[in-house]
Structure 1
Amino acid sequence: MATEGRSVESTSAPVSRTLESAGFVHIVARADGDALAASGLLARALAEHETPFQVSVDRTVAARTARVRDRTPAADDVTIAIGAIDTDVTRLETADRPATLAALDCVRELGTDPESVLALAGLVAADIEPGAGESEWVLETAQERGLVSRRPGVAVPTADPVDGLAHTTRLHASWSGTPDATRDALSRLGIDLDAPETLTTDDHRAIGSSVALDVVGAEAATAATAETIQRALRPYATPDHTFETVGGYADVLEATARTDPGTGAALALGHDVHEPALAVWREYGRRAHTALETASTSRYNGLFVVEINDGPVEAVARIAAACRSPEPTVLAIGEGRQQSADADSTEAAIVTRGDDPLGVTVEGVARELGDEGDSRAEYDIGHRRGYLRYDSARDNATIIEAVRELR
């Protein structure tokens, strides 16, 4: 099994020099919004340089590794991995730095102007506030070009606030996942919800205030919920983009990366897949919120466990960590074999609010759940999160104990 440091880690300059001389580039990406945005940034730069490329998105380290090993490259082919991989290829990002930042450095080294809105969405998907730290120049560039502007309201991808709020996975309230309940919650504001194009600044402000009260005032809300809603309020609007806000774009990237990577890759490349991507995002959000509302939960020292019947475990773990968990680490476990394309497997996800890397934990848990030869014990590692797919014969107590021991 791979660790976060086993694959070759490269700085942006060597990656850019490698790409300059490539005859063909295969980008193999982790299935999350950060990696998807990074792959889109690289691919767009390659297109400008007229370098042929292919983008592949896979859920686990083993799947990415197999994809690379099964391919017979030409002499001038280059493979770039975005995410952990267990073979000797160039890896774009390091364990402690988002892939989007590394991709931005690489694109600039290639002399190409990166797509600012995609870059900002990738940073949000990586839990980086637009303009924070190294990303300051990206936000400033987008603002100078009139691509983004801050306004009141909530970060959702659609102009329709009911649609956006009902399906977003950036927050959770009693009405989340259900458009009718969301409409009922907003109807008291006296806003014409059927004409989103007429919404004023005051309307957006009223919606933001109402949502904040519902999210923070929920019975199961935790101390972390206040921080979560602050990140979702006063979004960066994108007046000339297909999605309404940067945060909403990030939410769609996350959803498509997890459940429909083909559409996600096309979206990151700039193809016209706006409506299919929104359809994926709506279903992803609906299932995640429904699963969380009907979940069985348990609490341990430092760990909050969420057991669900059906739903995207990564989204459930992320929402729980942001809005429902009294502990810093969340483990979401899927019940039932329908959780995975493998009929004999089930899924789990780990999300932490802390900055400690999860790589060692996730790899260790995977070892506990299956030996080296068991293809059904696979995993992946992302920023503050991990993913596991393992033999469904393993009971939940086994994975809970393994996570507790290794955290």
Structure 2
Amino acid sequence: MSATARSEDAPAAGELAGRLREAGFVRLVGAATGDALAASGVLARALADRDRPFQVSVADLPADAERATDADLTVAVGRADPVADCSIAAGAEPASETAFAVARELDAEPDVALALAGCVADGRAVGGAVAEAAEAAGIERRPGVAVPTTDLVDGLAHSTLVRAPFSSDPEAVAAALDAAGVAVDDAEADEPRVDAATLDEAARRRVASLVALRTVGDDSVPPRGGHAVERALRPFDGGPFATVGGYADVLDAVARERPGTGVALALGHDVEEAALDAWRAHARRAHAAVGDATTGRYDGLFVARAETADAPVATLARLVHAYRSPEPVTLAVTEGAAALVADDRDLGPILSTAAEGVDGRAAATGTTGRARFDVETGAFITAVREAL
């Protein structure tokens, strides 16, 4: 059966802050997205400032089982959850924006870079209170590209903000940078590198132009690719990584690849290197899945069928939709799992109907959703086509 939310509608920030103040123990149940992970971290840190016990967990889909802990208040973050008391779903604004407001209501000083990274991970233009706080904190945009590492070769090869011919190939990145007139340090025998800190503003602009052209310069890239690539350009400076956009990329990857590390990162623990390792591994798997996927085009739906059972379908769906799909809805599917992305369509009813048709489980927030099922992938594709 499909997973249908039974939690309350998202309360206002002040109301949720009041409920958090009264709860003796709080459970935060986050979706496996960078925005939900960041929002969970913002809330958890605010609770820690009040010496309030909490538990944070991250999962692809809401759990059908009853609560694993005896929490006074269970808050779903990033989506509605059938076992939550209330939710902070990414609806009109990113979950991180709402969490930021709740933390302020709790008289905490939320980490601006973390909240901003969550908003960037959500994929929409950053605005509101988080953007204002970032400006007040001196976190500003600069020319260049949004990567988490100071080494641009490493950063661009493993970025999941873009899909380019050089994705997951450091040697190809180095060659492209060299051709753009950016000096590549290949003194080390094992791998080339480019230290972003040594580049002047003109060089940073050349790198940004290179990424934009290599990502969306091909006629086969849909118009939405031009909007998607903007997340990787003119990054904010700040946070524990080289850029806030890079921070967002890492949060999104670890939420799906290694959620325990992701929770530790969102809580502010010293796990940056482990998070970067997970980000690189996730990027390699995601870009390999994009390159190897078998695709099919239907009326209003583009399908990317992964070749491996462990393909990261959520990232696969996002990359294919942004940079490959000519249709308004994209389905990425592998054995037993799928993800759906749409331009401007509420996927909740569609995924629920498709999942019910194959006795599977699904959850969606607005234009993105996930599903699990025990039928052949072809049967699930048919169920989604019929639901559309």
Query: Which residue of 2 is the match for residue 374 of structure 1?
Result: none
Say if 1:174 and 1:218, in contact at 8 Å, map to a contact too. Answer: no
Matches within 5 A, 1:5-404: 6-9=6-9, 10-61=11-62, 63=63, 65-66=64-65, 68-73=66-71, 77-82=72-77, 83-87=79-83, 89-93=85-89, 95-131=91-127, 135=128, 137-146=129-138, 148-194=139-185, 195-196=194-195, 197-218=197-218, 220-238=220-238, 241-310=239-308, 311-335=311-335, 346-354=336-344, 356-370=345-359, 377-391=360-374, 394-404=375-385
Distance 2:291 2:158 in 1: 14
Distance change (3 Å), C-alpha of 1:143 and 1:402: same
Q: State the number of aligned residues.
A: 374
Distance change (3 Å), C-alpha of 1:26 and 1:166: same
Deviation at 1:94?
6.7
Normalised TM-score (structure 1): 0.87
Distance 2:279 2:318 in 1: 15
Q: What percent of counterpart residues are identical? A: 44
Say if 1:27 and 1:81, in contact at 8 Å, map to a contact too. Answer: yes
The CA RMSD over aligned residues, in Å, is 1.7
Say if 2:23 and 2:73, in contact at 8 Å, map to a contact too. Answer: yes
Distance 1:309 1:368 in 2: 24
Secondary structure, aligned partner of 1:26: strand
Distance change (3 Å), C-alpha of 1:277 and 1:121: same
Say if 1:33 and 1:250, in contact at 8 Å, map to a contact too. Answer: yes
Q: Deviations over 1:64-87 (max 9, x none)?
A: x42x533334xxx22222222113
Query: Which residue of 2 is the match for residue 341 of structure 1?
Result: none
Deviation at 1:219?
5.6
Distance change (3 Å), C-alpha of 1:256 and 1:323: same
Structure 1: gaps spanning 5 or more residues: 336-345, 371-376
Distance 1:379 1:179 in 2: 36
Normalised TM-score (structure 2): 0.91
Distance change (3 Å), C-alpha of 1:103 and 1:395: same
Secondary structure, aligned partner of 1:275: helix
Distance change (3 Å), C-alpha of 1:54 and 1:87: closer
Distance 1:98 1:233 in 2: 20
Distance change (3 Å), C-alpha of 1:219 and 1:88: closer
Distance 2:137 2:338 in 1: 42
Distance 1:94 1:333 in 2: 23
Secondary structure, aligned partner of 1:236: coil
Structure 2: gaps spanning 5 or more residues: 186-193
Distance 2:237 2:164 in 1: 23
Distance 1:288 1:19 in 2: 37
Secondary structure, aligned partner of 1:237: coil
Say if 2:3 and 2:362, in contact at 8 Å, map to a contact too. Answer: no
Deviation at 1:395?
2.5
Deviation at 1:18?
1.1
Secondary structure, aligned partner of 2:175: helix
Secondary structure, aligned partner of 1:290: helix
Deviation at 1:353?
1.9
Distance 2:136 2:100 in 1: 18
Deviation at 1:234?
1.2
Distance 1:260 1:380 in 2: 20
Distance 1:48 1:175 in 2: 44
Q: Deviations over 1:254-282 (max 9, x none)?
A: 11111211001111111111010011111
Deviation at 1:316?
0.7
Distance 1:93 1:161 in 2: 34
Deviation at 1:379?
2.3
Distance 1:11 1:140 in 2: 20
Q: Which amino acid aligns with 1:232?
A: A
Secondary structure, aligned partner of 2:304: strand
Q: Which amino acid aligns with 2:39?
A: A
Which has the higher mean CA deviation after the structures are superposed, 199-208 or 78-87? 78-87
Deviation at 1:378?
2.5
Q: Which amino acid aligns with 1:142?
A: A
Q: Which amino acid aligns with 2:379?
A: T
